[in-house]
Structure 1
Amino acid sequence: MAKAITQIEKKQKNLQEERAEDLSAIVNQIADNREVIQDTLVILQELHEAGMIDMLKGFLRTREKVGTIAIEQLNQPGMHNIIKNGMNTIGLLANMNPDQLKAIFGGLNQGLEKAAKSTESQEQLGMWGLMKSMKNPSVKTSLNTMVSFLEGMGDGLNNKEIH
């Protein structure tokens, strides 16, 4: 009959063997992710050439001072209004129909171009010219749009619930 095993000997690796295995695992990982590492190095080189790495190092070295200054600036009374106005603007943009906004901005751009040309020529529009322009379909469309805008804005201002 066989003897019972009462003692198990574990082979313990020495420090050099552990480091060799660790290095082998790192080299394998580098080989597996070669493209990603090369892209990362290209990005880092571009950031270095642009001076961004030096700026980032300086920022990290003075992060406590920069943080203190940022908090002080955020605590300014005007900054609270800027943040609130920014959030309200984002809410406004989220509620707008992009196609309608594109049409309005397109008309606004053309109107600004025409207004710039008219200021260059410095022609004065008299009362007769103003009345004559009311027959122009483009002017009628623009006036109708502005009156509709004013009506909608008035309805919004008269509404007691502010959204």
Structure 2
Amino acid sequence: MAEPITYIKKTVLTKEEQRQQKLEDLTALLAENDDSLNKIMGIIGELNDIGVLQAAHSMISAKEKIAQIGLEQITREPVTNLINTLMGATGALMSADSEAATKLVKGAVAGMDSGSDFLKSNQKIKIRDLMKVMNDPDINRTLGFGIHFLRGMGKELKN
């Protein structure tokens, strides 16, 4: 019968042997992927020729200045007003009924399309035409919506 194993000898490589092993692995990897490496080097060469690498290097070198300029631009009053307005509008839209908002946006898009078609036709609208379209259910619905929209907006603006 064989003797039980009581000791395992672990091979520990020296720093030089580890470095040599890494170089051999890298050499094998380069040999296996020479086509890909040639393409990458070609791309890098093209980027260098058109100045992208120089621009990237300059941007990295000036990162503090670029960050400072960016912060100065973001903290300007018009930009902060825009951000505050967007946040307010987002909050208002989030409280709105999504189905109603979707229907309203789709209606606005359809209205813009119809309005654009009318502008291309160069027709004139007469007073009699306005009186006739009041009986059109689509127009009547839109006018009713507009009147109630204005009423609700006016009430909210009063507060």
Q: Shorter-chain TM-score: what band?
A: 0.5 to 0.7
Displacement after TM superposition at 1:71 (Å): 2.1
Total equivalences in the alignment:
129
Q: CA RMSD in A?
A: 3.2
Which residue pairs with 1:118 in the alignment? 118
Displacement after TM superposition at 1:93 (Å): 2.5
Which residue pairs with 1:141 in the alignment? 141
Structure-2 separation of matches of 1:135 and 1:77 = 49
Structure 2, gaps ≥5 residues long: 1-11, 27-42
- Partner amino acid for 1:104? L
Which residue pairs with 1:80 in the alignment? 80
Over 3 Å counting, the alpha-carbon distance change for 1:88 and 1:58 in structure 2 is: farther
- Partner amino acid for 1:114? S
Which residue pairs with 1:129 in the alignment? 129
Deviations 1:102-161 (A, max 9, x none): 1111111111111111111111111111001000000011011111211211121122xx
- Partner amino acid for 1:146? G
Displacement after TM superposition at 1:19 (Å): 5.9
The 3-state SS of whatever aligns with 2:135 is coil
- TM-score w.r.t. structure 2 length? 0.64
Structure-1 separation of matches of 2:106 and 2:118 = 19
Over 3 Å counting, the alpha-carbon distance change for 1:153 and 1:67 in structure 2 is: same
1:2-151 → structure 2 map (5 Å cutoff): 14-16=14-16, 54=53, 57-151=57-151
Structure-2 separation of matches of 1:111 and 1:83 = 29
Over 3 Å counting, the alpha-carbon distance change for 1:83 and 1:143 in structure 2 is: same
Structure-1 separation of matches of 2:95 and 2:16 = 64
Structure 1, gaps ≥5 residues long: 1-11, 28-44
1:155 aligns with 2:124: no
- Partner amino acid for 2:114? K
The 3-state SS of whatever aligns with 2:138 is helix
The 3-state SS of whatever aligns with 1:83 is helix
Structure-2 separation of matches of 1:114 and 1:13 = 79
Structure-2 separation of matches of 1:125 and 1:78 = 41
The 3-state SS of whatever aligns with 1:125 is coil
Percent sequence identity is 23
Structure-1 separation of matches of 2:97 and 2:17 = 66
- Partner amino acid for 1:61? S
